[in-house]
Structure 1
Amino acid sequence: MADSSAVTRDAIADAAERVAPYLRRTPVIEVSGADFGLKTERLCFKLEFLQRSGAFKARGAFASLLLRTLPEAGVVAASGGNHGAAVACAAQALQVPASIFVPTIASEAKLALIRSFGARLVVGGGRYADALSASEDWQAQSGALAIHAYDQVETLLGQGTVGCELEQQAPDIDTLLVAVGGGGLIGGLAGWYRGAAKLVGVEPEGAPTLTRALEAGEPVDAPAEGLAADSLAPKRIGSLGFSLAQQFVAQTVLVSDDAIRQTQNVLWQVLRVVAEPGGAAAMAALLSGAYQPKVGERVAVLLCGANTTSVTFTG
């Protein structure tokens, strides 16, 4: 089994150098909390939805392909949508074949994105676990290299580059709110910050994956339902992300689907940002009161994905 001790600041910094030619350095903006009706003096947003393929996942995908030896059969990945699009994007850029397996709950926006990168797309099964099982069958049959969405060292190193970049852009933050699915993103961030900033994991009430694991002291099965089920609802947290979260994540909070929907609307109204449900979850913790900053606390929010068809432009 892979060892989370490999997810170090040095290793993340090395990965950042390797992936830099292929990725965007996403911007940070600072606004007044009052713009959102909050008492927080200022808020810092990391606009990671501007990353290639529309989500932070491109970081882990490029790291996984660049840091490993690729067979002629190419790569295979299971995904709720964003990881699949990221692997397809990286595979196209590096000119290797890719097969992507997704469940039927994947949004049409994400399916269209995967197709646009030229990958072989297989849709089937109701949840991520079903797509993962099908991808494993294909990997055994084809000899393709499996690119795990969240429980793989190279993936965490890639996701950790968000922290490497954010620390340069906003070195004085106290707290970072991060949406949690399988644990790759928060695990990578934990590996970077290592307690230097307070990490708060935000999960939907219908998919309390990390929350349940922390309560149990180990990864356990959790519900996998809700509005953000295509990005934040694996059956169980990855062992690598969980190990790092145990050490360096301060707390987790849960948000309702209604809070996520409301946050999507508010982000559009205030910032003109279109966020998918998983991308809006971290901010939902502030707007719903699930996380309440202390006076003077300098809070950053990671807006991590925008692959949605929920906005129609008419003029």
Structure 2
Amino acid sequence: MVDKTDIEAAARRIGGHVRHTPSYEVRPGLWFKLELLQHSGSFKARGAFNRILAAREAGALPDSGVVVASGGNAGLGVAYAAARLGVRAEVFLPVTAPATKVARLREYGAVVYQHGREYAEAHAASQTRAAETGALVVHAYDQPEIVAGQGTVGLELPEADTVLVAVGGGGLIGGIAAAVGDRARIVAVEPVGAPTLHAALAAGHPVDVPVESVAADSLGARRVGGIAFDLAVHHKVESILVSDEAIVDARHRLWREHRLAVEHGAAAAFAGLDLVADPGAAVVVLCGANTDPATL
């Protein structure tokens, strides 16, 4: 299981490559962690750098580079990290990925393939490609180095009673739980149409769920990762569900009231705030901004 020692090691490894993003006190007792300001537009760059650099340190980074499947953000993080480190990157996306994300991937120099309508289908295609080329597989959320890298967000949070985190595959919440779950209440916020962790906690193990949500481009995993599930159980993570309508409203409120342009996945965490009883001092992690601002 990934623990705080792993996350501290990841922080040392990636420290010169990622931003220490600010936390903004919205009002007394409420903070926004502005991870939308991270390189590549989301927290995913943290795990990507940690995975690639750890492989390089171990002499396990092949000349064929890296391959990743993504709804968009993990691909952007990997493409950005690979470009900065001089590594070839191939990214597999579903055909439903937003055009803005596809365009940015190509700007970073990644080779982009689009396959299937969901992340799971793109992932299957990426595995076939990796077997053909020998490229290093960078998983979007379910590898120890990825979870530890994402967990470095937790090391930067202000002291709080409650931390709200949006969940897709679970790499971010798993890492944050490992980093601060011993001192804060961790609340997972998921779309009703993509309840990966919620369903897993109810079943007692990860299970497949149907995916149909406005936030599917960033929270569109069909099944929560095993690492994240184990960490969520260990740290007693709570899970709440929010509707697409609430997510859309939260996204517009973040723009209207705070001039923060976030993607729907990031807005989900804010949408969950009103559903948390007695949050005390709370931090909402705004995890990404890879969105079309014209829709605000």
Is contact 1:228-1:278 (8 Å) kept?
yes
Moved over 3 A (4+): none
CA contact (8 A) 1:293 1:299 kept: no
Q: Choose which of 278, 282, 293 in structure 2 pairs with 1:299.
A: 282
Does residue 224 of structure 1 match 2:211? yes
Aligned to 1:38: none
Deviation, 1:250, is 3.1
Deviation at 1:258, TM superposition (A): 0.6
Residue segments in structure 1 that go unaligned for 5+ positions in a row: 33-40
Counterpart CA distance in 1 for 2:266 and 2:74 is 14
Task: Note closer, same or farther for the CA distance 1:303–1:244 as it changes in structure 2 (3 Å cut).
Answer: same
> What corresponds to 1:37 in structure 2?
none
For 2:236 and 2:62, how far apart are their aligned partners in 1?
Answer: 36
How far, CA to CA, are the matches of 1:228 and 1:17 in structure 2?
A: 32
Deviation at 1:108, TM superposition (A): 1.2
Q: Choose which of 81, 87, 91 in structure 1 pairs with 2:82.
A: 91
Counterpart for residue 275 of structure 2: 290
Asked whether the equivalents of residues 163 and 283 of structure 2 are also in contact (C-alpha less than 8 Å), the reply is yes
Backbone CA RMSD of aligned residues = 1.2
2:67 to 76, 84, 92: 76
Which amino acid letter does the alignment assign opposite residue 283 of structure 2?
A
Letter in 1 for 2:54: L
Give the C-alpha shift of residue 312 in structure 1.
6.8
Give the whole-Å Cα distance in 1 for the aligned partners of 2:187 and 2:214: 20
Name stretches of at least 5 consecutive residues in structure 2 with no aligned partner: none
Give the structure-2-normalised TM-score: 0.96
- Superposed CA offset, 1:184-241 (max 9, x none): 0011111111331100000000001100000000001112111011111211111010
Q: Quick check: 1:18 aligned with 2:16?
A: no
**3-state SS of paired residue (1:201):** strand
Q: How does 1:59-208 map to 2 (within 5 A)?
A: 59-68=46-55, 69-166=60-157, 170-171=158-159, 173-208=160-195
TM-score (norm 1): 0.90
Query: Is contact 1:180–1:232 with CA below 8 Å preserved after alignment?
Result: yes
Identity %: 50
- Could you tell me which amino acid in structure 2 is paired with residue 124 of structure 1? H
**Aligned residue in 2 for 1:210:** 197
Q: Secondary structure at the match of 1:44?
A: strand
Secondary structure at 1:100's aligned position in 2?
strand
DSSP 3-state at the match of 1:21? coil
SS in 2 for 1:76: strand
Q: Which range is displaced more, 126-135 or 102-111?
A: 102-111
| Contact 2:177/2:237 (<8 A) preserved | no
* Distance in 2, Cα, partners of 1:233 & 1:201: 15
The number of aligned residues is 292
